Structures are given as structure tokens and as C-alpha cells.
Structure 1
Amino acid sequence: MSNAASTASASGDDIVVIGSGIAGLSAAVSAAEELAGEPGRSVTVVDRADPAQAGGNSKWTSAYLRLEDIYEVADSFVDDVVAFSGGRTSSSYVETLVRHLPETMEWIQGHGARFRRFPTYFVNSSRPRLQPVGGGEGLLNVLRPAAERLGVRFRYRCTAQRLVRDRAGRLTGVVVTGDDGEQTVPAAAVVIASGGFEGDPETLAAELGGDVDRLIPIAPGVTFNKGEGIRMAVEAGARRAGQWDGFHAEPVDPRSPDPEALVMVFPYGILVNRDGERFIDEGRGTVDETYESTARAVWAQPGGIAYLITDQQFDAVTDRRRGILTSVKPVVAGTVTELAAALGLPEQRLARTVAEYNDAVVDGPFDWRKPDGRHTQGIEPPKTNWALRVDQPPLLAYPVACAVVFTFGGLDTDDSARVLGGDSAPIPRLYAAGECTGIYHDKYPGGTSVLRGMIFGRIAGQTAARELGTFPAERQAERTAEVTGG
């Protein structure tokens, strides 16, 4: 630490939580509950945002949960989540999540959270989803007051930069920067819950490759997640986990200023790139199974943009508005030529693409609610379901781009949320939960991010508080002296 840096006074800050999204607040509240009644011990949360913007991605998400009921997952939950990763996600991690689900849901409801079954923006999905009332922000709005009642201190506009260790390598504090310059917050234990690195273009470019400038932040919370929590743990010897060149992607309207301006109705038309050509089977599966790979395929197109083109038959999709979260109206035109001109696409090529597609459609029954087998024949790429001709004007078009929600790469942790080092042993007094921990590969199993943030955030807080009890009193005094220079 620089000699110019100031040092915080000894304040008894025993546990420092980095980040105040669902994982961070779950950790802070559960740790404070464990430490209640123990004098001289406290919990502090640091967050780089101001109070109105704090909460990371959790503040903006709908927070759908992959649950059959409040206390139950589907019988295939563990197998499904592991299969999404090609077998690389730890089944033990997922089994721990399932085991702690009932008590965690009971706990957060005890703090005032409520849940309901609510139709999702996946208009043709049959997978179960539960949603907290008020979405992710609703969860934060019950946990933050609970934390304050328990005496948790919040330091906003305060960015954690690096961990501090004593000469023996023991964790003693966290260096932070904020309105008061650089300080060291004393800590006997640290919980990292600061999200991924999706808000840092330099790290994104280094890890993902591709033109990351084309990726649209799904919501304002993305910009606060710059990866310092992950980096400081790696510098302390933490092992990396998850797919570092992968990220959770969603298809959005690039014209829209709305957070999560989703366009989840791509199966009911054709997707063309800016050259006027189709590039993907739009109907290869239900929306919840294909939206992420569709968004990534759009990112790979020239300029990172595509256009969903449909016509008046789109009205037959009676729940279509549920899958369109952009507030910007579609581009409307009477003919393919007029639509091409309005979108700035090559007119002849688009006309040929639409004509070839229309000629390839095989007639059959149409059912927007489920895969209906109505397909094309003799063209590449094919369309496997929901293949209706685009021939009933006026025509409609939505621009579509790829949004980054969160990154898959992060820290390796055990089932008690302890950060693991390169030797697979836990790093003493260092814990992590939420999107800063790496479990995902290839494809995101929807409805699991907020769920794991809440469950493992609570586990992290409890583990940190309980293991803190193994510190002898004289070591507490020694630690404070080392950090404060006393």
C-alpha cells in the first residue's frame, strides 16, 4: 500500500462484504445474524455505486427463479444444470443449492420477500419459473433494511481494490478507494460478491475475443461490475473457474434506452443480417432454449446486428407482447423493397432471401405455443418450427443486437462458499458468492443466477461468521494493530 494512502481507524470491522447485490446482501444479513450479540464484531458492505444505483445486476433483473414451487426444484434440476455446461459444472455445487433452498426461501420470506408464479418473456416455454414480487429490486428492498436493522454499515461510492495480508500471509483488511481517497478497511474475513467483469471493456476484450464494443450492457448495473473482486482474489492465489471466454447473452433492441429491452419473439419470423441474408434456424427450439445462442449468433454477424422480419401473421401469436420488452415500435413497410430501404439493407438480396424462404416453407398446422414441426425444405439454414411465409403486408421489423448480462468466468469455491486456491485448499477467511464465482459453461441455465446468489450468499455470510469464531481474542487485537499500524 502507498505511503500516501490513509488508513481507516480501528472500528471492529470483522467481516467486509464487497458488493450489495443479492449475493452481497444475503451474505451481509446472514453474517450479521450469526454475529448478533457478539460485542466488537461487525459487518461492513462496500459498493462502488451510490445508494440509488447500488445493487449491481440484481437491481435490474426480473429475477425469475428456476423453481417448481417456493421450496422445490424440478426432479431433473441438478442433471439439467450440469448438462447445460457439458458436464463441467460441479454437481456437488448444484446439490448444495438444492439442499439449502427450503431454508433460504423461508429465511428471505421471513424478511418480507414474497413470490408469485408469473408469465415470463419466454412466450413458448413450458419450464417452471417463479418471480419475487418486485423482481430483483424487490429482494434488495427487503434485505437492505434488514441489514441496517442488524447494524451492518454501508460504504457507498467505495471501490474495493485489493486484499491486505500480514507478514504471515493472513488476511487483515481490504484497500478501498472512494470519496475520502484510499483507505484500508480492517477485516478478519472478506466475502467477495461484486459480480463479474462485464463492465470492464479491456478485460472483456482480453477474455472473450471478438468485437466487445458491439455488446450492449443489458442494464445500468452492468457498468459497475468491473472485476476487481475477482482480480484481487486471483492475486491472493485463488483458482479460476467457469468459462472465462463465455458470457450470458440476450437478444435486445439496440435502438431502445430501456434496460433489458428484450426481443424474444424471433421464432415467429426470419432473422437476416445487414447483408440481407438469413444465418440461423430461428425455430430450432423454444425461446428459453435458444435465445442465448441466437444472441451470440447475432453478435458474430457483420456489425453485430440483425433484423427480425415478420408480417401480419404475427398477430396470431396472442402472447407476443410478453416477449417484446422494447418500448420502440417496429419498422413498418408495405413491401420487401420498402422495408429494405427503411432498414438500410440491400434491396435485391433481401427480396431474394424472402422469396427463397417463402418457396421453401412446407404447409402444416401452426401452433405458436409449442414446437409445431412446421418447417422449410431445401434451404440452408433450415427453419425447423413455426415456419410461416413472410407475405402478408404490412411487414414488421425489429433490429436485434447481443446484450451482455454477466460473464461466466470467476472464482472457484467449495460448497461452503470458501474461495479455493491453486492447491484446491480454501484460502483462509476469503469467501465468494454470486456472479463472481465461475460455474457456467457454454449455455446459461435460465433462472439460476439470482437463486444461487441468494443461497450461496447466505452460505458465505454464515460460514464467514462461524469460522470467525475460531479466531482467539488475542489474535483479534493483534490483527487490528497490524492493520492500523498500532
Structure 2
Amino acid sequence: MTTSASSPDPVVVIGAGIAGLSAAVSAAEEGAPVIVVDRAGPLEAGGNTKWTSAYFRLDDVYEPNESFVDEVVAFSGGRTPSWYVEALVERLPETMEWIQGHGARFRRFPTYFINSNRPRLQPHGGGEALLTALRPVAEKLGVEFRYHTTAQSLVTAADGRVTGLRVSGPGGEDVVAARAVIIASGGFEGDPTALGKELPGDVSTLVPIAPGVEFNKGEGIRMALDAGARRGGQWDGFHAEPVDPRADNPEALVMVFPYGILVNKLGERFLDEGRGTVDETYESTARAVWAQPDGIAYFITDRRFEQVGDRERGLLTGRKPVTADSLDELAAALGLPAQRLADTVAAYNSSVVDGEFDWRRPDGKHTEGLTPPKSNWALPVDEAPLLAYPVACAIVFTFGGLETDADARVVDEQGAPIPGLYAAGECTGIYHDKYPGGTSVLRGMVFGRVAGQTAATA
């Protein structure tokens, strides 16, 4: 059903995750009629936000670390625009006040990074709690939700202004007239064809981090590009996490890899497991696993793993470890070449130097004469029972997306805003090389709100 000619055209939001709901509520608060379309049903809608712990890279509710801008830009090798991060910091306090005014609450909570270089703040109840806070507010403000409805393409006027959205849903295809369209539909991590085209590896071995991934197929990004939008971010990059591929629970993380060794299916080590704290190395570890044969590795440790006091906090998998009393038995259970695994473990054990083990921080307990080395937390693996967890690379979201300005307006190839088109969240591309943890939900919320306010008042 198209909107009535007698009523003002609505702001149309694509996606009901944190960016989409922030946009919808803020636009409605400005008095604009709002329609939200989402391909998922009402119980599944929310994209990746619904499933994430939603850690914020903040020292306090209103305060990032003083090095926040420099850190985020540095993670990208200087390619993330500093103005974007500065605008995020500038708008942070009022956004946090706004979301708390709608019932969200935050706390310092122990993360799955059992050793960490940077503190985190978390909403009570994770990302789903943010959605639960905003959705009833949107409904009370009169926002119309159209579930099981997929955005197909933008409608534009002769001058290039976006004036509507073609959608398909339970009633068939439709054109929704719009005063503005806000794209908040995530990346293209749910589209294997697009991933295969853009990513430099075997995408069939990537594990979706959660059910929300499958809904993010990239139509929002593609329709904006068709309308002349400029690409942003690293299109052959994505946010990766190490997970247990056996598990059927979302976000089945294995964040304890520094406290043992990682071997591939050939029984060989392939990286320095202890090169830094978990929060700074988990993504590159997941990528290194993805580069191994069949995209699989095995974290192997022994009874000394019991010395890691908070080890269970770093294991979100719902599956028990594979256990064995000997390396031969473990190799058989994992399907690894027994002699090669034995040689790998023997070489590793003989290279471990004496020192004091401290799982909480980089302890300098390392190996000597070993390639690849292990820089911290090097304990021998020789005391039964031996334990192992399979590890695969999970895809969380893609880095490539749309370029926007400080008002969340999508820009064209010349950097000029496309009239009537806005975007926020993971569909906007700012990341390169390495994800600065604790920023995705945060920026979706901040710039989703900006998009809603700007679209409603432009």
C-alpha cells in the first residue's frame, strides 16, 4: 500500500537494528511520520544487534578514553576519516543521555576478553536490550513496522532526489513514497555471492556469527550505489571472530587461544598465539585460522589450563572440549596426523623458557628458537588430560559500505549529499584492516539518531 497523497510522505527506514530503531525514534520525535521495513519477522528483526553483547569502547557512560579518536583511526592505518570519529565523540554524551531516557542502562561487566588492553561498557541485556528499549517507544510514537518486507530499490526524481522505496512483501511489490530514505540494513555478510566476489578467500568456510547475519544481504548498499553513492571502507575486509564450528549457539566464541597452541589440520602451528592481549589479537587470529587448509584449526592445551582463573568467561561455545590422555589419542579424536602433531608439540615444549605465568596480562613467558614464536603465556603442553577445541573464523559484518557525511547523508562520487538519502550503522563503510572493538553498535546508535533527526527536519 502506498502512502496517501493527503498525508505527508514518511521517513522510510530500512532495517530494525540499533541504527534503524535509533533513526526511526528520533525522526518520530521530530514529528515526522515513519515507516520501518525489515525482511525479518517481528521475533527475528534486529539484525546483528539482537545477538551481540554490544560492548561500548567507553571509559564511562559519557566518556571515551582521551585516545579514542587516535586509536580508532590508527586501527585502520589512518584510513578511517578522523572527522567521522570526532563527530561520534562530539555527539556521544547527548546520545547516551537520550538512550538512557528511553530506559537503557549500562554497567561495567566482565567481558569475554579475559585479558584486555581496553575497558568496555555494556548495556544491561546486551544489544537486544537496546532494541527492547526503543521498539515500544517507536510504536508509541506511531512508527509503522512492516515486517517480512524487503527493500528492493530506490525511487528517484529527475534531479536525483530520493522520493520513495520499492519493496516486496506479503502483499507483493509496492512503492512507498518517502520524504527521505534511511538505509540501516547492515552489510552484505549474508550474501555468499557478494562475499565471494569481494573477499580474498574461501567464503564457504566462514561461520555466521549469529542468525542475524543471514538477513543482511546488502540490498541497501547496492541500491544506494545504483543511485550514485560513493563506496566507503575496505570492501575486501570484514570483522572476524574465532568460534567453535561445532556449536549451534550464537557467538560461540573461543577467546582463550593464548593459553595453549593453535595447530591446523596438518598438525602445524601457524602463528604466535601469545603476541598480545585477547582483545587486540582475536580478529587477526580468526583471519589466520581462515587462511589455513579448510579454514579450520584446533586450540590444544592441557591440565595447566586450570591455572587460567576466568577461562570459562572466554569460552562461549555450548560444546565441551575434546579430551584425551595422550597426544596419539587426541590426534585420532581430531583427525590430525599423529606424528606431525607429536613433532609440533615436542618442538614447542622444548622451546619454552622458564618464567612466571600470569594469565591476566602479557607475562613475557615465551619460547626461544621456535618459528613461529610464542611471546607470552608459553606453558608446555604435556600434562594429561589434554584438551582441544576446534576453531573456525566467524564473519560478523563486512567493512565495505556507503560513504556518508557528518549528518549521515549518503554522498555521491563527488562528495556531495544525495538529496533524501541517509545511512547509518554497518552499511556505512569506515573500517579498514582491523575492527576497533566496541564501536559498531555505538556508532550505529549515534549516527542512526543523527540520520533520523536530519531526515525529519531537512
- TM tier, smaller: over 0.9
Report sequence identity in percent.
75
Q: Which one-letter code corresponds to 1:203 in the other structure?
A: A
Q: Which one-letter code corresponds to 1:341 in the other structure?
A: A
Aligned-CA RMSD value: 0.9
Matched, 1:184 2:181: no
| Counterpart among 197, 219, 225 of residue 234 in structure 1 | 225
Contact 2:163 2:420 (C-alpha < 8 Å) held by counterparts: no
Relative to the length of structure 1, the TM-score reads 0.93
Contact 1:60 1:136 (C-alpha < 8 Å) held by counterparts: yes
Matched, 1:32 2:58: no
Shift of 1:7: 5.4
| Counterpart among 450, 453, 458 of residue 459 in structure 1 | 450
What corresponds to 2:384 in structure 1? 393
SS across alignment from 1:163:
strand
What corresponds to 2:408 in structure 1? 417
What corresponds to 1:477 in structure 2? none
| Counterpart among 90, 93, 97 of residue 84 in structure 2 | 93
Contact 2:397 2:426 (C-alpha < 8 Å) held by counterparts: yes
Relative to the length of structure 2, the TM-score reads 0.99
What corresponds to 1:363 in structure 2? 354
Contact 2:54 2:441 (C-alpha < 8 Å) held by counterparts: yes
Structure 1 residues 7 and 34 mapped into 2: Cα distance closer, same or farther (>3 Å)? closer
Contact 1:251 1:403 (C-alpha < 8 Å) held by counterparts: yes
Matched, 1:18 2:37: no
Contact 2:3 2:9 (C-alpha < 8 Å) held by counterparts: no
Contact 2:188 2:217 (C-alpha < 8 Å) held by counterparts: yes
Gaps of 5+ in 2: none
1:245-394 to 2 correspondence within 5 Å?
245-394=236-385
Per-residue displacement from partner, 1:182-225 (whole Å, max 9, x unpaired)? Answer: 10011010100000000000000000031101000000000000
Aligned-partner Cα distance in 2 for 1:34–1:454:
17
Matched, 1:66 2:57: yes
Contact 2:160 2:418 (C-alpha < 8 Å) held by counterparts: no
Contact 1:122 1:288 (C-alpha < 8 Å) held by counterparts: yes
| Counterpart among 417, 420, 431 of residue 426 in structure 1 | 417
Bigger Rg over Cα: 1
Shift of 1:170: 2.5
Contact 1:13 1:44 (C-alpha < 8 Å) held by counterparts: no
Matched, 1:443 2:439: no
Contact 1:12 1:186 (C-alpha < 8 Å) held by counterparts: no
Shift of 1:169: 2.8
Shift of 1:8: 5.7
More deviation in 125-134 or 20-29?
125-134
Aligned-partner Cα distance in 1 for 2:156–2:64:
41
Aligned-partner Cα distance in 2 for 1:170–1:382:
57
Q: Which one-letter code corresponds to 1:395 in the other structure?
A: L
Aligned-partner Cα distance in 1 for 2:83–2:156:
31
Aligned-partner Cα distance in 1 for 2:409–2:37:
19
Aligned-partner Cα distance in 2 for 1:429–1:167:
13
Contact 2:23 2:452 (C-alpha < 8 Å) held by counterparts: yes
| Counterpart among 85, 94, 99 of residue 103 in structure 1 | 94
Aligned-partner Cα distance in 2 for 1:30–1:350:
57
Contact 2:161 2:418 (C-alpha < 8 Å) held by counterparts: no
Aligned-partner Cα distance in 2 for 1:363–1:119:
30
Gaps of 5+ in 1: 1-5, 36-40, 468-486
SS across alignment from 1:57:
helix
SS across alignment from 1:308:
strand
SS across alignment from 2:369:
coil
